[in-house]
Amino acid sequence: MLMNRPPTNPLMRNSTSLTLLAKLKEEHALFILQETSDMLKQEANLVDVKSPVTICGDIHGQYYDLMKLFEVGGSLNDNCYLFLGDYVDRGCFGIECLLYLYALKLSYPTKFVLLRGNHECRHLTEYFTFKRECLHKYSEHVYEACIDSFCALPVAALVDSKFFCVHGGISPELNTLNDIATMDRFREPGSHGLLCDLLWADPVSGFGEEDKPNSLVPPGSTFLHNATRGCSYFYTYAAACQFLERTHLLGIIRGHEAQDNGYTMFRKTPTKKFPSVITIFSAPNYLDVYHNRGAVIKYANKNITIRQYNASSHPYWLPNFMDAFTWSLPFVGAKITEMLLAILSICSEEELTEEDSSEEEESRALADASISPADYQQRRQQIKNKIMAVGRMQRVFQLLREESEAASELVATEDISGQPTAGLRVGSDALSVQGNQISRNIRSFDDARRSDLMNERLPVFEVDTSPSGSPTTMFPPPSMRLPSRRASSMGEGLNMEMLIKKTLEEDEDDSPIVERLAERIARGRRVTGRPQPLKRHETT
């Protein structure tokens, strides 16, 4: 994971040169994870941090941007670093980011404070990319060691006893800072409670403008259900001000939400005239499509400075760490079924709409074949079923193709109100040589934000543990960046064999052309009686 040449600065690994990463041996990775877990367990739930300090937001597996962050953030000679969580998932270099930050923590224990984010848990890392990344690059043993370390991470920090730093936000269960100091953090976060809120809560939409006539927030509200996340709360300007007054703090600094400029400063408090909430986000060009800038907060000598930076180039991984052959199989299968249908389409559009053959023709065919009308109808239906099966197989591969595209690019989805939102068009020609769909359909931060909205929710899924639900490596799994349409409708854990079987058993087909084609071929094929076994002929 460390770069293959020694750095001049202990924090930077020459991110601009794209030097290849040298993979750590598994035994070394496990050593770093175990040693860091033991160190983190000794830290308090609420860590005291002294300035000067660089405060960093979400990283999300963007290793090369993390190297850029250290260039912007400054050396350790007169500075320390506070990270607000979300080191893994979504990006392709989560384990590299985690091991590198842990190695820095071990080397400079007082210079690095690492807090927990909502993605530092089993639930999200199994749903998104980090578990698959660990299994691809190492083993389940390494993944389990990562999960153990996540439960040891502190959940909040106080900078100079002035700033409350946390990944998500505040909670209706957070009355005093002692509530954090006495909580049990060494566990998997639930879907409610103080730990959940610290990791998941957000400022309400229109934060600071709740008192305006057109505000949708009921007067006097402090906490509202967070429908965007599917858990925790939205907290209002009033809730933030009340918390700061109770705790005698200056402001709340948090991450958790992508920001176009890398940061957002919200409305100032009425008493101390300082931004009540500051959101910082340190993953530039998030998911390679957001077009946002990254930022860090430098706090020194009672002055706050925002430093922004752009994304760095990085090596490319196929979605979900698949190889090119596996990822391309649905595209090949779709083309094969298209060719089969083209071969079978020997009838013109006019021929497909012709009336049925005359009774005399059918009677003559039955007499020539010496079969009964019932057998004739059975053979006719068998032929039709085979043609219909080809049409249904075409739908299977089209669906798998859509899943492959969804895994690599954001696609159009629905927001929490059920209304379709702007995003990528997915269809039979969505991935083609004519151009990259993502460059034409997601042109701005807002486009990407709307397309990715469903992935901001706490995922709800049940793992299929039945033998028939065992995963397959032959075809791509559902997208980890977007809830799978196939998985949601048919169940998680479907493998290719199950999908084909289910499709061939369907009675209906949504393609009238294929159905008419099948009917025409079944009617037009000459009846030759029962099929005979193949004969073996000797050759000389």
Q: Which token pair is 333?
A: 């299968």
Contacts 24+ apart (CB under 8 A), 37-40: 37/145, 37/148, 37/149, 37/152, 39/105, 39/106, 39/109, 40/105, 40/114, 40/149, 40/152, 40/153, 40/154
* Whole-Å CA distances, 63 to 11, 93, 151, 233, 282: 12, 6, 22, 31, 11
Q: Which token pair is 60?
A: 């999300």
Determine which one of 60, 119, 167, 291 is catalytic: 119
Annotated active-site residue 291? The verdict is no
* Whole-Å CA distances, 75 to 10, 212, 241: 8, 45, 34
Q: Which token pair is 144?
A: 């389990």
**DSSP one-letter code for 422:** S
How far apart are alpha carbons 539 and 308 in whole angstroms? 78
How far apart are alpha carbons 83 and 53 in whole angstroms? 10
How far apart are alpha carbons 518 and 153 in whole angstroms? 62
How far apart are alpha carbons 97 and 90 in whole angstroms? 12
- Main-chain dihedrals φ then ψ at residue 353, nearest 5 degrees: -100, 5
How far apart are alpha carbons 471 and 107 in whole angstroms? 40
Close Cβ partners of 471 (under 8 Å, ≥ 6 residues apart): 477, 493, 495
How far apart are alpha carbons 232 and 204 in whole angstroms? 12
> What is 114-169 written as a DSSP string?
E---TTSSHHHHHHSSHHHHHHHHS-HHHHHHHHHHHHHS--EEEETTTEEEESS-
Q: Which residues of 411-436 are buried (b: 16+ CB within 10 A; e: fewer)?
A: bbbeeeeeeebbbbebeeebbeeeee
Neighbours of 260 (CB within 10 A): 16
Close Cβ partners of 538 (under 8 Å, ≥ 6 residues apart): none
DSSP helix/strand/coil, 523: helix
- Main-chain dihedrals φ then ψ at residue 503, nearest 5 degrees: -65, -45
Close Cβ partners of 190 (under 8 Å, ≥ 6 residues apart): 196
- Residues annotated as catalytic are 119
